[in-house]
Amino acid sequence: MTENNKINHDLLGKKLSREMNVLELCSQVRHSARQIKRLGIKKYNWWNESLHGVARAGIATVFPQAIAMASTFDENIVFKVASIISNEARAKYNYSQSIKDYGIYKGLTMWSPNINIFRDPRWGRGQETYGEDPYLTSRFGVAFIKGLQGDDEKYIKTSACAKHFVVHSGPEAERHSFNSIASKKDMFETYLPAFKAAVIEGKVSGVMGAYNRTNGEACCASPTLMKKLLRDTWNFDGYYVSDCAALLDIVFKHKIEKNPFKAAALAMNSGCDLECGVLYNLLPFAKMFGYVSKETLRESVARLVSIRSQLGMFDENCKYNKIELNENATEENENFAIEVARKSVVLLENDGILPLTPNKQSILLTGYNAENEIAYLGNYYGEPSSYIKVLDAIKEENKNTIYSQGTHLFDSRKNADKNDAIEKAKVSDVIIVCTGLDSSIEGEEAGGMLAGGGGSLGKQGDRISLELPKVQQDFLEDLISLNKKIIILNFSGGCIDFRKYKDRVNAILQCWYPGAKAGKAIADILFGKTSPSGKLPITFYNSIVDLPPFEDYNMVGRTYRYYKGEVQYPFGYGLTYTDFDLVNSSFNSNSNTITLTIKNTGNQTCDEVLQLYVSYPQTDYPMPIKSLIKTRRMEILANKEVEVKFTIDEKDLYSFDNDGNEVFLNGTYKFNLFDGQNINIDCCEIVNNNSTKIIEKCCL
């Protein structure tokens, strides 16, 4: 959208807001906004979701969950996914408008993406994120936002909303009352970069506040976060919305303000333009009591009306109005979802058993998640037009394939006919067992509430262990005792402890929550039609015992950037069916360009994923061991070479000191090239001989 068109939308917002009385203004600041017929403003529900497909509004393409998309390490893929989602959202919106359906999940304001940092593997909602790295999260967040909002000069296609601002990543059971304490260094180094990129680079039109407090202020009533940081420092000109019912927490959980009228005014005065919830019903009384001004209400409503204008809601000739329902969940869209799944599966272990040869073995497929629909969907999902699960997909490749459930997901009291599975395993050449979790026990306020515990499960969607549920552990041990070939397909949104299995089974694939038709993608990998190429966007730790307390938001001791212990699988790791060699590496110090020649030395075409990391000069305060600064995904044909160039900008070297200042340190910067498999080398150095310089002084 051009700047002039943006100004015109803002002017319309200001004009219409000035023509509203107090009751009309207050009617627009809740997610279910009322009609103002005399001003040509229709009823509108702001709440919609599109984490990995249009959610909760009927049939839609269900892409792999966000954490799976992150394992592609390719922002172009994420951009295309979001572009498809925005098209399907428009198709649904246009149809809903035609039948005068103004209900929830039918709008164009998509409360996605989730760009929180997956800082701790116990967090059940980590599956919604792009992993543990601020750089990768920033790149994917911007790509997703741009895909949703489009590149039209006059209108945005759909409105993206970056969430949850800020320092929000568990524990779920305490999120309504918890105060996240984060240092200025951790704030600007880890928790804020993706939001800054979303606002400044992505031009995101919405930001959602978190439930928790951050450094003492409720995130949905924080003048520090909303005014000082978002608006004054980053020049954010979109709308700020509370997480759903978060404003009630100000009164009943955080107990910041006992008077609900004052609490509503506190949120509005702090900059929360829109409430998902009910507390803003009290704003007319808050205005009457003098707690909030009409001008403050007008400022928020002007921003909200501007967003609706940017979406073309006041123009019958908006080009996006022509998108019809037949463009929803098309064959092309769903085939692309399968392609994303192919690129997202991470091969953790392979002793050579993979790829399998079609129709050359008898296979038992077992495990609860093989046929468990929500293990394909994750959370925040739409209704699939159909499924392709692994059983049907494997049968297409290997006719002599049978299935037996063998185990429940977590409950030993549920009959899963383990004996039947064991007997069938005895007469099968290969056992493919589907392990893991699903969003009923790992997700947003799920777990104990919905599933009733289950051994390794924690409270309300979080985990207390990285191990599989006990019934699955027992089942795996029974299968391993048969001395058969075993392949594990694991479905989960986070890391699982595979230490006691990885040397006793033949292969392990991390499938995440891969999408409704991902059985096809998984079978293609199993039988060698494509090589696995996904890389871990999170660290697979050995145990939560190795980590600081879940409630501690200090980054020291967490993620690949600060964790110094042994791990199962490092960030960025992932095997393929081929080998890549670094044939040549050179560094031009004049242009700060690294030139690499990479060769696929195997006999299978495969995507290579290069990752460039920087290590910093020594300081007298904690610094990351290394930080990701560049990635490149490319297809390399079998026995072919490609040349790759990385140009290092000075800003790639900036870091943060203890006071939250962005600095350019004096000293030597070292660069490491990693591809998650064969290549792991220190490739060059850059020396800054000048004194340490503050690039940007901390604004907090």
- Under 8 Å between Cβ of 195 and 204: no
Query: Which tokens hold the place of 212?
Result: 């928790």
Q: Which of 243, 462, 524, 652 is catalytic?
A: 243
The upper half-sphere exposure of residue 164, i.e. CA atoms within 13 Å in the direction of its Cβ, equals 25
CA 325 to chain centre: 27
Annotated catalytic, 243?
A: yes
Alpha-carbon span 92 to 539, nearest angstrom: 38
Specify the DSSP class assigned to residue 214. E
Cα–Cα distances (Å) from 359 to 353, 397, 399, in that order, read: 14, 7, 6
Contact by Cβ (8 Å): 157, 147 = no
The burial of 590, by beta-carbon neighbours within 10 Å (0-12 exposed, 13-18 middle, 19 or more buried), is given as exposed
What Cα–Cα distance (Å) separates residue 605 from each residue in 168, 274, 515, 578, 599?
40, 50, 24, 8, 11
Burial 434-456 (b: 16+ CB within 10 A, else e): bbbbbbbbbbbbbbbeebeebbb
Structure tokens, 653: 């070297």
Task: Tell me the two tokens of residue 561.
Answer: 């950037």
Distances (CA, A) of 78 to 84, 354, 610, 629: 10, 28, 17, 18
Angle between helices 193-200 and 134-149 (to 10 degrees): 30
* CA 293 – CA 132 distance, rounded (Å): 41
Q: Residue 284 — φ and ψ, nearest 5°?
A: -60, -35
Residue 636 phi/psi, 5° resolution?
Answer: -125, 125
The two three-digit tokens of residue 577, written as one number: 């069916």
Largest CA distance in the chain: 79
Query: With contact defined as beta carbons under 8 Å apart, do 51 and 128 qualify?
Result: yes
Distance of CA 406 to the CA centre of its chain: 32
Per-residue exposure over 405-430, b if at least 16 CB sit within 10 Å of its own CB, e if not? bbbbbbbeeeebebeebbebbeebeb
Residues belonging to the active site: 243
